[in-house]
Amino acid sequence: MDNIRNREVLYAVLLQTLSENNDGLFIYSAYDSINEQYTFPEQWYREIPKGTAYELLKDMGYPDWSDIPQEKLVELVKTEPQWQNQLRWTRLQLREDGYLDISAPRGTWRLTPAGFQAAKNFKIDSLKPDERKIVQSRTQNKRSKENASENNISRRDKLFSVLENLTTSMPLTDLELLADIARTIRARSITEG
């Protein structure tokens, strides 16, 4: 599995995933959907530094982040799974190919009519056998997902459910405080990453 071309596989995965969502998907919903439906090689799940974290690590005395054990890396800086980083690069390729709608709201990935056609006509035969296994893992994951009852709800949906329950019983002042905290976290994540 060492010869797997990450971007070619993720190209097929992203096309397939977005083709099932006419209105597009918000970036984190796309991550959740792909993570739930596909099984990637173990090394793709390796956490890598996010954004400016590479420079922070160098400032801390770590010239090569890949030498840092996973647990330590996650403690030191903001990280993300490698496949998510590669997926964003793949999204740029889809955009260059004219398959992503550039008029979609910020943070939403939506196919153009040409993108839907490309997804429909995509030939899995162009992938190597190991690469095809990854793209086809979706079918197996989807079946096991359909067989699960309570576990059928994504983490994001569970979080929204909990948040809805909390906010419907909160006083307005607490809701305003929660909104301020969310804005601060969002602003910080934009400036950091």
Give residue 144's pLDDT band: very low, low, confident or very high (50, 70, 90): low
Buried-exposed string 148-168: b where 16+ CB fall within 10 A, e elsewhere: eeeeeeeeeeeeeeeeeeeee
| Per-residue pLDDT reduced to its tens digit, 38-63 | 999 988 999 999 888 899 999 999 99
| Per-residue pLDDT reduced to its tens digit, 69-92 | 988 988 898 899 999 999 999 999
Domain extents in the chain? 6-149, 153-193
In 96-162 the beta strands, taken as DSSP E runs, fall at: 108-109
| Per-residue pLDDT reduced to its tens digit, 14-26 | 999 999 999 999 9
- pTM of the predicted model, to two decimals? 0.68
Please state, in angstroms and rounded to a whole number, the distance separating the CA atoms of residues 84 and 31. Answer: 7
Specify the pLDDT at position 173.
Answer: 74
Please state, in angstroms and rounded to a whole number, the distance separating the CA atoms of residues 162 and 167. Answer: 9
Specify the pLDDT at position 22.
Answer: 92
Which amino acid belongs to residue 166?
L
The alpha carbon of 14 is separated from its chain's Cα centroid by a whole number of angstroms, namely 10
Q: Are 97 and 116 in contact (CB under 8 A)?
A: no
The token pair at 44 is: 């793709």
